[in-house]
Amino acid sequence: MIPANFDYESPRTLSEALELLASREDAKILAGGHSLLPAMKLRLAQPALLVDIGRIGGLSYVRESGEHIRIGAMTTHAEIASSKVLQRFSPLLPQAACQIGDMQVRNCGTIGGSLAQAHPAADYPAVVLALDAEIVVASRTGEREIPAREFFTGMFSTELHPHEIITEIRVPRTDDQGIAYKKHHHPASGYAVVGVAVRLKLSVGKIDTVAIGITGVGQNAYRATAVENALRGKPVAAIREATAHVAKNVEVLSDNYASSDYRQHLAAVLTRRALEQAAGGRAK
């Protein structure tokens, strides 16, 4: 449980951090440290240089900005859970954030760190997918925006290049009527055995807009497009049948706690519950 030797730098600006990151092949960003440090103690990660971005000003915020809500990458889970701006304009994020780990994890862990880590059972990936968010990343050569739907590429793997830093998450403002995040917590780790993020809008009793993000089920979080397609334009009574497609084309994970059959069952049940809650109970 002792990490390998490493160098440590604590830059005060983003450009300094980007220079440091590019200076060594095996440099890594340190944010809240709640995924990276345990991995280093187990020697699953052995970076030669840690670039701590915790002292860079201006990376922790939640702001309204035109058509978007902008969230700084260093914003902690606790700050997201208690953000008045998010509770008003994008309550799905606080609803998920307050279910992450325990208070210590929520006080240190950051949204940027969680998305970069891309743990297959992390909560935010399902939420940013359902929200059609964009992940803003910076490198020495400039900035780019990656749609959440293109960001997660596999287990612990993303579109992020080694010398890029996530700086911001942009969430479009929507006029959804209902949202819900449902999670089956792993009893030991607190991670999502299955987590389901839903946003929904009804029009004249029919489902007009529906977005469903799923975590914990496959190698990486995904949009349950087969369920979305089965629901668009249909009455809420169609929910139960549609959720049977929740793991369509997904290789469902299996471990000591949850077999793939159980996981798939959980995913269908939690998706139905999330959709029913988002629909205001009208499916019953």
Report how far residue 183's alpha carbon sits from residue 67's, in angstroms, rounded to the nearest whole number: 29
Q: Give the contact letters, 38-57, x = binds to ligand FAD (CB under 6 A), - = no.
A: x-------------------
| Near ligand FAD by CB under 6 A: residue from 40, 75, 90, 123 | 123
268 contributes a contact to ligand FAD by CB under 6 A: no
Report how far residue 89's alpha carbon sits from residue 84's, in angstroms, rounded to the nearest whole number: 9
Which whole-number Å values give the CA distances from 271 to 48, 85, 93, 263, in the listed order?
Answer: 42, 26, 17, 12
* CB nearer to ligand FAD: pick between 166 and 194: 166
CB of 202 to ligand FAD, least distance (A): 30
Region label for 253, one of left (φ > 0), alpha (ψ between -120 and 50) or beta (otherwise) = beta
| Near ligand FAD by CB under 6 A: residue from 109, 120, 213, 216 | 109
Please report, as residue ranges, which positions from 178 to 207 form the binding site for ligand FAD (by CB under 6 A): 189-191
For Cα atoms 125, 127, 129, give the angle at the middle one, nearest 5 degrees.
70
List the one residue out of 95, 64, 101, 59 whose CA is nearest residue 80: 95
- Tracing tokens 């029009």 back to the chain, one arrives at 203
113 contributes a contact to ligand FAD by CB under 6 A: yes
* CB nearer to ligand FAD: pick between 110 and 202: 110
Which H or E element spans position 148? helix 148-151
Q: b vs e for 82-91, b when ≥16 Cβ sit within 10 Å of the residue's Cβ?
A: ebeebeebbb
15 contributes a contact to ligand FAD by CB under 6 A: no
CB of 35 to ligand FAD, least distance (A): 4
List the structure tokens of 95. Answer: 């609803």
For Cα atoms 236, 240, 242, give the angle at the middle one, nearest 5 degrees.
85
127 contributes a contact to ligand FAD by CB under 6 A: no
List the structure tokens of 215. Answer: 């975590």
* CB nearer to ligand FAD: pick between 112 and 218: 112
List the one residue out of 36, 197, 27, 223 whose CA is nearest residue 119: 36
90 contributes a contact to ligand FAD by CB under 6 A: no
146 contributes a contact to ligand FAD by CB under 6 A: no
Stretch that binds ligand FAD, among 1-9, 100-108, 127-135, 269-277 (CB under 6 A): 100-108
Stretch that binds ligand FAD, among 103-111, 218-226, 234-242, 267-275 (CB under 6 A): 103-111
Residue 72 Cα to chain centre, angstroms: 14
11 contributes a contact to ligand FAD by CB under 6 A: no
List the structure tokens of 211. Answer: 């977005």
Please report, as residue ranges, which positions from 203 to 262 form the binding site for ligand FAD (by CB under 6 A): none
| Near ligand FAD by CB under 6 A: residue from 9, 17, 18, 34 | 34
Interface residues toward ligand FAD, by CB under 6 A: 28-36, 38, 73, 100-101, 105, 108-110, 112-114, 116-117, 119, 122-123, 160, 165-166, 189-191
